[in-house]
Chains A and B, each alone.
Chain A
């Protein structure tokens, strides 16, 4: 008898299941890199750093440091002169013959205690001939500026990075689309402005930690707090001339990343030492102060923007020249510049575009990936200009945004056809959430109240061939292990992957085990945990691996039951036949197989599924015009709106209501999506209100949590309305695309626009500190 094919049970995808990592984290059992015990053979590393922003390194004398009892070894740039870098190989482990920022590693010491290693640093003598320095990227880009990298022409880079040897420009990305010059006379309104976005720091609560051990054959094991175990393996293997398979990276839970634990920052240093003291693990842990000024920073940006529209508000042209303060080494930062370039219009349909996105070497800390990868900085300028344009032609800002936001089928400025996206719906949702258009009364007579809105987009920024892989192993107790190479950095990826595997296989969510550490020796390859790409890319690999395991299970049972696999299904861990109504729990045969009839042997064996995913459809772009069929895999879009108040007596900004909505394609776990949206909003708000590196002649003046304040419990609005829409992504698992970075991208602009609405004063450059707002109100004559 044929039974009716039942509607598949709902399954865990789309459900807010509890995270699978939080019991460990709530009890103190979760292991982070600094928690691993290495026994009494452990040595401690400290680093001698450049005290000047730019100079010729004439001498590094380590003899006195080596003689200090307890010091086991000292290494310098002479020991390891090889250059490394993710996109442009411009950085050595230690300065070799030139220093380029204050804090640059010059030498490192390994000793039996951290105190002795620190004391040894004072015994290292440096002789440096100071050179004129570059602190402003716009000036640094000019011919005649002091040159930081005279060897730029020899640096290795992929074909989508365009350095200009003989200058400080390490990448110059261009878009030339339509004819901006011809468009300006047709504009009814043009806004031209310069916006400066300061450097900020990621400040994960866990600072960088890495422990290296080399064996007597020179095989290296690195335990590191990283978003990128596989990228570290590849880069560090090359740097130290070790085969990739002999460079093993083990990565436990990460105490916050936000981009700064991607690629390689400080992890080469303990390896450089460990190779000289084989058999001794060497631990290097950044102090909070080092975390501020030697870790990747979010680059400062100077945006020169000119945007015009017709009298009906239709955008006609944009000219966007961005000078990125790339810092001393731009090995990773060059790709931030590229991403800022190809996404430089923001989520708008603009027919005439001229973009120059220029990465400039300066004698500041090195720039690198920061949650949003250039998009927060770009949108800070662009979405204020849109606000100004709407004001100029007298149009409602929500109406102006909805008129111009990009839609499925539109052509992106790089020539790619935009996929379907729900950005208009996002705008409607956030506008409704804060009662857009309704003038609210201030809560006190000394306050000014206003509202602001901004939209955003962001694509995963990565090499075109960044891949993912996954392995599903079935267990005889009804569980399964999903092995992945992507990192749990707080975003909940272990949980999302368990949901995807469970849904695809037909197993209960609780049966799926996903756990760290990620170990390059045993975990399947993953490019990096960056770019909001895991849910999408690794999710595809996990789905394929689960499908593979599922098919093997169905084929085995079909063979045993002499049925067609098409008539079989797996529901809640049980294989069922719609035809014969037979059933058997998966756990009964996925390891030990099934017996043939009459004791004639067995069929099957341990079931393992594998899956790989790599986008194969991202194309190159023309170096002069930035045009090509498909610059990126896809864009996640969204909107944010805020209702704020300014205290006229203090200048203090308070966010009363905040709303955010993003088109996530499919929310694999709605509660985790909301968690990203809330946390991202607060990180964006913190950067808007408080954060900025105070760099003075290359000296970081505020490298502590006292002087570099981040948002606390006292600063956040009581409720952040986190919403999403779901326009399925055709290349995503269950239609999903990423949303990890996006929530902080529009926040600075939304707040700047709200400040303007509340006070009538436009303050373009963050941070919008109480002092800055108060002084602007005084200048405008609003307060006396």
Chain B
């Protein structure tokens, strides 16, 4: 498989990466950039564990080819906190008990972050809808919804 050289911004930092043409953004993040916070739960766009923000929108990174990311701006879970200061979403996910096994957490955080970026005052329904593609088997979801509501309130 021939390699493609792409230049993109990940968590504010410019990266130059050589990736095979059949690699996904998820593979590139985990295997080339060692950003293993982004999780692989199904590799087919069904569970939301690999959600990252690409050019302002939440995407399933397993469904985006790395080669499509030339010039893109990507935010992953590693990019949410700034200089040790947690994002409000992270803070409230911790405080409300929205995290159990933690495997869906990065995807949940990024879906919620994208929602708050485009809609700073979401209704409860807006939040539930924005997170409908992020499967969680542990928490039963309501604490996650509460965390996003609290984060929206201080956003």
Interfacial residues, chain A to chain B (CB-CB below 8 A) = 18-19, 21-32, 34-35, 37, 202-207, 253-258, 287-288, 489-492, 671-672, 674-675, 678-683, 704-706, 710-714, 716, 718-720
Contacts and interface: CB of A to CB of B under 8 A. Distances in A.
B56 interface: no
Contacts of B95: 18
B140 A205 contact: no
B39 interface: yes
For chain B, which range describes its interface: under 10, 10 to 19, 20 to 34, or 35 or more residues?
A: 35 or more
B81 A27 contact: yes
A207 B41 contact: yes
Interface string B51-78: 0000000000000000000000000111
Nearest to B97: A675
Given A714-B128, A720-B140, A27 B86 contact: yes
B19 interface: no
Contacts of A203: 135, 137
B108 to A, nearest CB: 10
B94 A287 contact: no
29 contacts: A18-B95, A19-B94, A19-B99, A21-B102, A23-B94, A26-B99, A27-B80, A27-B81, A28-B36, A28-B78, A30-B102, A34-B39, A35-B30, A203-B135, A205-B41, A255-B39, A256-B138, A288-B42, A288-B46, A490-B101, A679-B139, A680-B140, A704-B42, A705-B42, A705-B47, A706-B46, A712-B141, A714-B128, A716-B141
A28 B134 CA distance: 16
B140 to A, nearest CB: 3
Contact of A205 (B101, B144, B145): B101
A26 B94 contact: yes
The 6 closest A-B pairs by CB, nearest first: A28-B37, A255-B103, A490-B101, A25-B102, A682-B140, A490-B100
B86 A26 contact: yes
Contacts of A21: 102
**Which of the listed residues A202, A712, A716 has the most CB atoms from chain B within 10 Å of its own CB?**
A712
Contacts of B46: 288, 704-706
A711 B132 CA distance: 9
B24 interface: no
Nearest to B130: A713
Nearest to B131: A713
A257 B40 CA distance: 16
Interface in B104-128: 104-106, 109, 124, 127-128
A657 B35 CA distance: 41
A116 to B, nearest CB: 11
A704 B44 contact: yes
A713 B77 CA distance: 21
A569 to B, nearest CB: 33
A288 B102 contact: no
A713 B144 contact: yes
A16 to B, nearest CB: 9
B78 A718 contact: no
Contacts of A681: 140
Nearest to B137: A256
Contacts of A704: 42, 44, 46
Could you tell me the dominant secondary structure of chain B's interface residues? Answer: loop
B40 to A, nearest CB: 7
Nearest to B81: A27
A712 B47 CA distance: 10
A37 B33 CA distance: 12
B102 A22 contact: yes
Contacts of A711: 141
Given A26-B94, A27-B90, 14 more contacts: A25-B105, A27-B78, A30-B102, A32-B39, A204-B103, A206-B41, A206-B101, A256-B137, A287-B43, A490-B101, A675-B97, A678-B143, A713-B127, A718-B124
A255 B42 CA distance: 13
A27 to B, nearest CB: 6
Contacts of B99: 19, 22, 25-26
B154 interface: no
A205 B103 contact: yes
Contacts of A683: 137, 140
B15 interface: no
Contacts of A679: 100, 137-140
Interface string B1-42: 000000000000000000000000000001000111111111
Contact of B141 (A25, A254, A713): A713
A492 B100 CA distance: 7
A288 B103 contact: no
A213 B151 CA distance: 44
**Which of the listed residues B38, B40, B131, B133 has the most CB atoms from chain A within 10 Å of its own CB?**
B40
A258 B36 CA distance: 23
A713 B103 contact: no
B152 interface: no
Contacts of B139: 675, 678-679, 682
B100 to A, nearest CB: 4
A153 to B, nearest CB: 40
A490 B129 CA distance: 25
Contacts of A710: 135, 137
Nearest to B22: A115
A34 B145 contact: no
A706 B44 CA distance: 10
Nearest to B124: A718
Nearest to B90: A26
A258 B76 CA distance: 28
A28 B35 CA distance: 8
**Which of the listed residues B42, B81, B95, B104 has the most CB atoms from chain A within 10 Å of its own CB?**
B42
Given A27-B86, A672-B97, A713-B144, A288 B44 contact: yes
Given A27-B86, A678-B139, A671 B97 contact: yes
A25 B99 CA distance: 8
A34 B132 contact: no
A718 to B, nearest CB: 7
A34 B101 contact: no
A204 B101 contact: yes
Contacts of A32: 39, 103
Nearest to A712: B132
A288 B143 contact: no
A255 B100 CA distance: 9
A26 B138 contact: no
Contact of A713 (B39, B80, B106, B145): B145
A495 to B, nearest CB: 11
Contact of B94 (A22, A34, A255): A22
A256 B37 contact: no
A28 B40 contact: no
Nearest to A676: B100
B102 A490 contact: yes
A738 to B, nearest CB: 16
A205 B100 contact: no
A662 to B, nearest CB: 15
A209 to B, nearest CB: 10
**Which of the listed residues A28, A256, A710, A714 has the most CB atoms from chain B within 10 Å of its own CB?**
A28
Nearest to A704: B46
Contacts of A205: 39, 41, 47, 49, 101, 103-104, 135-137
A678 B96 CA distance: 13
Contacts of A31: 36
A683 B124 CA distance: 21
Contacts of A26: 86, 90, 93-94, 99, 102, 105, 109
A750 B10 CA distance: 48
A204 B94 CA distance: 21
Contacts of A30: 102
Contacts of B134: 713
B36 A35 contact: yes
A711 B90 CA distance: 23
A713 B128 contact: yes
A683 B41 CA distance: 18
B76 A255 contact: no
A683 B76 CA distance: 28
B132 to A, nearest CB: 5
Contacts of B101: 204-206, 253-257, 489-490
